[in-house]
Each structure stands twice: as C-alpha cells, then as structure tokens.
Amino acid sequence: MGLMGRPLGGLLPLLMIPTLGLALTGCAERMSIIRKHAVDLKTTALFKRPCDADVPMAEYETVLNRCNRTRLSRMIEQFETIQEMERARGSPGDTMEEVRAKGFSIYEDANPKLRRPNTLVLYGNDALAAVGMGLSAPPLQKPEEIKAYADFMAVHYAEQYIERDVVSVVDRFCVNNRESIEIGEDRVFTILWREGRVLKRVIKGGPIDNPKRERGLLLCPSGFLVDTVSGRARDMIMPVPVQ
C-alpha cells in the first residue's frame, strides 16, 4: 500500500509516463521526426539518361526519377547548335527538319498524331511572347491593316520543351524547427520559327538549390504518445509555442 491507501502497483504506470514523455521530447529535439520527400518530375524523355538499377541511389534520387532523368548537359549542348535567323551574317536560320535532326521534336516518332509529353505549341503573339518578343496590337481600322497584322502573326510558330526534376525534402524537428530543401533543375526550352525558319531559341530557368530553415508553431509528438499511453485522447497533440 502506498500514499492514501492506493496500491503502489497502480502508481507505477503514472510515474513512468512523464519520464517517457521527457525521453521522447529529448530525442525529437535532436533528430527528424517527420520527413516528407516529394519529386516534381516533368520530362519530354528527349536525351534520356541511361538507367542502371545496380548503381546506388544518389542523395536526392528516388525510384520515380532515377530512371526518368534527362542528360541535361547534352540537351543544352544540342539546343545551342540550333541556328537562329541572322540576316546580317547571312544565316537564314534552321528549318524544321534541321531542328528535328538535332533531337528536338514534339512528336514521339514520325507519326504526327502521337505528341510527346511536356511539350507545348504556341502561335502568333503567344509564340513571340514565349521568347520575350511579344507585341501589343497597334490600332487597326482598315481591313487591309487588319489582314496585314493577322498575316504577320500567322507566320510565327513556337515549340516548348519542359524539363523539371526538383526534389523537395522537408524535415520537422521538435521543438519548433522546420528545415527543407528544394534541389534540382527547372528549364523550359523554346524555339520560335518565322516562315519555317528559326528566328530565336531561348532557355528559361536553371538549377535550383533552395534550402530553408523556419521556426514556428509545430506539433510535438511527445504529447501525442504520452496521452495515448495514458488513455487521454482529448489531449493527443500538444502545440509547442515559438521561442
């Protein structure tokens, strides 16, 4: 018999619960308790990197992206060989066939009905705007002016190739730390044609390396576990105030 006539055996679980909570809280302050690992992958599958399943995964590699990655340096190298229209230098610009021969096509094969994923087709002012050459329509009143403007826009056509391979890793720590990193590549390759010849080619985007550390009101797991052990479901999650 213990205090107030209560058996000591019944007090042991109650004495152990705070100790368990302190131990869990101490551990959580030193290691990640919640990890979220996400991949944002968009690829055209052009210049696809060979996949060797026997090679160990890299730090930010996952099952989703390890066999779907692009040889990006090779893609950029080939893209920069596309000749733009430069009349002053006597360069007429590559034709559609010459661009296809360099590895860029919005189609899976010679069949124009099967589109390659993560590609876009743009026309007119949308095509011009994609490479930073967008125009505001001038005041048009006469039918011949309207037709001339429409004919000018009609000769512009663009294709976009989207390559995004970004891994996002989020670690939550108790107490009140949230660490995350976004790392990878995010690029859009755009080719603009005028009258069937490449007028301009542009690569937008680039490498991403964005680590963050935030402090805020997060949830500590020790309250959840302690209250679960003690059977008090009403206080299953204990918020930790910002320090």
Q: Is 11 within a domain?
A: no
Residue 233, domain member (yes or no): no
Domain interval for residue 115: 34-216
pLDDT at 151: 94
Whole-angstrom CA distances from 182 to 36, 42, 59, 73, 195 are 12, 15, 13, 20, 41
In a domain, 186, yes or no: yes
Name the token pair of 167: 């891994």
Give per-residue pLDDT as tens, 143-161.
999 999 999 999 999 999 9
Q: Cα 215 to chain center, whole Å?
A: 24
Tell me how many domains the chain contains: 1
Q: Is residue 190 part of a domain?
A: yes
What pLDDT is attached to residue 167?
A: 84
Q: Measuring CA to CA, which residue among 156, 162, 158, 160 is closest to residue 120?
A: 160
- Cα dist. 205→44, 110, 165, 184 in Å? 16, 29, 12, 11
Residue-level pLDDT at 30: 43
Distances (CA, A) of 64 to 19, 46, 162, 183, 185: 42, 17, 17, 15, 15
Positions of the chain with pLDDT under 70: 1-35, 52-54, 57-66, 172-178, 215-243
Residue 18 lies in a domain: no
User: Is 8 domain-assigned?
Assistant: no
What's the pLDDT at 44? 94
Within-domain flag for 65: yes
Report if residue 15 sits inside a domain.
no
pLDDT tens per residue across span 222-237:
444 433 334 433 333 3
pTM above 0.75, yes or no: no
| pLDDT for 227 | 39
21 CB neighbour count, 10 Å cutoff: 21
Give the pLDDT confidence score for residue 18 in this predicted structure. 42
pLDDT at 3: 44
